A and B are shown apart, each in its own frame.
Chain A
Amino acid sequence: MSLLKVNKLKVHYPIRGGFLRRVVDQVRAVDGVSFELEPGETYGLVGESGCGKTTTGRAIIGLNKATEGEMLFEGNDLAKLRGSDRRQHTKDIQMIFQDPYSSLNVRKNVLNIISEPLRNFERMSPGEELKRVQTLIERVGLNPESIYKYPHQFSGGQRQRIGIARALTLNPKLIIADEPVSALDVSVQAQVLNFMQEIQKEFNLTYLFISHDLGIIQHMCDRIGIMYKGRFVEEGTAADVYNNPQHLYTKRLIAAIPEMNPEKRFEKTHLRQSINEAYRTDYDSYFDKDGRMFDLKRVSDTHSVALQ
Chain B
Amino acid sequence: MGNPVLEIANLRTSFSIKGNYHAAVDDVSLTVHENEVVAIVGESGCGKSALALSVMGLHNLKTTKLEGQVNFKGQNLLNLPVSKLNKVRGRDVGMIFQDPMTALNPLATVGRQIEEPMDYHMKLSRGAKKKRVLDLLRRVGIKNEQRVFKQYPHELSGGMRQRIVIAIALACDPVLLIADEPTTALDVTIQAQIMDLMKDLQNQIKSGIILITHDLGVVAEMADRVAVMYAGEIVEIAEVRELFANPLHPYTRSLLNSIPANMKAKEKLHVIEGIVPSIQNLDRTGCRFAPRIKWIAEEEHEMNPQLHEAEPGHFVRCSCYKNFHFPEERVGAETYVTT
Q: Quick check: do A and B touch in the complex, using CB within 8 A?
A: yes
Q: Residues 258-301 of chain A: 1 if any B CB is under 8 Å from the residue's CB, otherwise 0? A: 11111111001100110000000000000000000000000000
Nearest-CB distance from A224 to chain B (Å)? Answer: 11
Q: Does B295 contact A (CB under 8 A)?
A: no
Q: Does B214 contact A (CB under 8 A)?
A: yes
**Residue contact A257 to B188, C-beta cutoff 8 Å:** yes
Q: Does B50 contact A (CB under 8 A)?
A: no
**Residue contact B217 to A258, C-beta cutoff 8 Å:** yes
Q: Which residues of chain B from 182 to 214 have any CB-CB distance to chain A below 8 Å in the complex?
A: 187-192, 195-196, 199, 214
Q: Given A218-B339, A242-B339, do A261 and B188 touch, yes or no (CB 8 Å)?
A: no
Interface band, chain A: 35 or more
**Residue contact A216 to B258, C-beta cutoff 8 Å:** no
**Residue contact A260 to B187, C-beta cutoff 8 Å:** no
Q: Given A242-B339, A263-B241, do A186 and B258 touch, yes or no (CB 8 Å)?
A: yes
Nearest-CB distance from A177 to chain B (Å)? Answer: 14
Q: Residues 243-265 of chain B: 1 if any A CB is under 8 Å from the residue's CB, otherwise 0? A: 01000000000110011111101
Chain A residue nearest to B258 (CB atoms) is: A190
Interface band, chain B: 35 or more
Nearest-CB distance from B60 to chain A (Å)? Answer: 24
Q: Which of A23-31, A77-85, A131-139, A191-199 contacts B (4 or more CB under 8 A)?
A: A191-199
Cβ of B271: which chain A residues have Cβ within 8 Å of it?
A: 187, 190-191, 194
Cβ of A254: which chain B residues have Cβ within 8 Å of it?
A: 339
Which one, A193, A214, A218, A256, contacts B269 given CB within 8 A? A193
Q: Residues 215-226 of chain A: 1 if any B CB is under 8 Å from the residue's CB, otherwise 0? A: 110111000000
**Residue contact A185 to B214, C-beta cutoff 8 Å:** yes
Distance in angstroms between the alpha carbons of A238 and B267 in the assembled complex: 14
Chain B residue nearest to A264 (CB atoms) is: B338
The residue among B44, B260, B265, B266 with the most chain A CB atoms within 10 A of its own CB is B260
**Residue contact B220 to A259, C-beta cutoff 8 Å:** yes
Which one, A189, A197, A260, A268, contacts B216 given CB within 8 A? A260
Cβ of A253: which chain B residues have Cβ within 8 Å of it?
A: 188-189
Chain A residue nearest to B223 (CB atoms) is: A262
Cβ of A213: which chain B residues have Cβ within 8 Å of it?
A: 188, 260
Which one, B44, B215, B265, contacts A258 given CB within 8 A? B215
Cβ of A252: which chain B residues have Cβ within 8 Å of it?
A: 189
Nearest-CB distance from B108 to chain A (Å)? Answer: 25
Cβ of B221: which chain A residues have Cβ within 8 Å of it?
A: 258-259, 262, 265, 268
Cβ of A86: which chain B residues have Cβ within 8 Å of it?
A: none
**Residue contact A218 to B260, C-beta cutoff 8 Å:** yes
**Residue contact A186 to B196, C-beta cutoff 8 Å:** no
**Residue contact B338 to A218, C-beta cutoff 8 Å:** no
Cβ of B189: which chain A residues have Cβ within 8 Å of it?
A: 48, 252-253, 256
Which one, B188, B254, B259, B339, contacts A212 given CB within 8 A? B188
Which one, A187, A191, A219, A259, contacts B260 given CB within 8 A? A219
Q: Does B56 contact A (CB under 8 A)?
A: no
Cβ of A260: which chain B residues have Cβ within 8 Å of it?
A: 216-217, 220, 244, 259, 261-262, 336, 338-339
Distance in angstroms between the alpha carbons of A273 and B195 in the assembled complex: 13
Q: Which residues of chain A from 51 to 107 have any CB-CB distance to chain B below 8 Å in the complex?
A: none
**Residue contact A48 to B187, C-beta cutoff 8 Å:** yes
Which one, A212, A257, A259, contacts B187 given CB within 8 A? A212
Which one, A48, A194, A265, contacts B188 given CB within 8 A? A48
**Residue contact B196 to A262, C-beta cutoff 8 Å:** no
Nearest-CB distance from B339 to chain A (Å)? Answer: 7
Q: Which residues of chain B from 266 to 292 have any CB-CB distance to chain A below 8 Å in the complex?
A: 266-272, 275-276
**Residue contact B270 to A190, C-beta cutoff 8 Å:** yes
**Residue contact B268 to A194, C-beta cutoff 8 Å:** yes
Q: Does A255 contact B (CB under 8 A)?
A: yes
**Residue contact B338 to A187, C-beta cutoff 8 Å:** no
Q: Does B43 contact A (CB under 8 A)?
A: yes
Distance in angstroms between the alpha carbons of A261 and B221 in the assembled complex: 8
Distance in angstroms between the alpha carbons of A48 and B192 in the assembled complex: 13
Distance in angstroms between the alpha carbons of A190 and B223 in the assembled complex: 24
The residue among B188, B192, B222, B244 with the most chain A CB atoms within 10 A of its own CB is B188
Q: Beyond A218-B260, A219-B266, A258-B221, list 17 extra A-B contacts (CB 8 Å).
A: A185-B214, A186-B216, A186-B255, A187-B254, A187-B258, A190-B258, A191-B271, A197-B266, A215-B339, A218-B339, A219-B263, A220-B265, A254-B339, A258-B191, A261-B220, A261-B338, A272-B196
Which A positions have Cβ atoms within 8 angstroms of B? 48-49, 155, 157, 185-187, 189-191, 193-194, 197, 212-216, 218-220, 238, 242, 252-265, 268-269, 272-273
Which B positions have Cβ atoms within 8 angstroms of A? 43-44, 187-192, 195-196, 199, 214-218, 220-223, 240-241, 244, 254-255, 258-263, 265-272, 275-276, 336, 338-339
17 pairs across A/B with beta carbons < 8 Å?
A48-B188, A49-B187, A185-B43, A185-B44, A186-B214, A187-B272, A190-B259, A212-B188, A219-B265, A238-B265, A256-B191, A258-B215, A259-B217, A260-B216, A260-B261, A265-B222, A269-B199
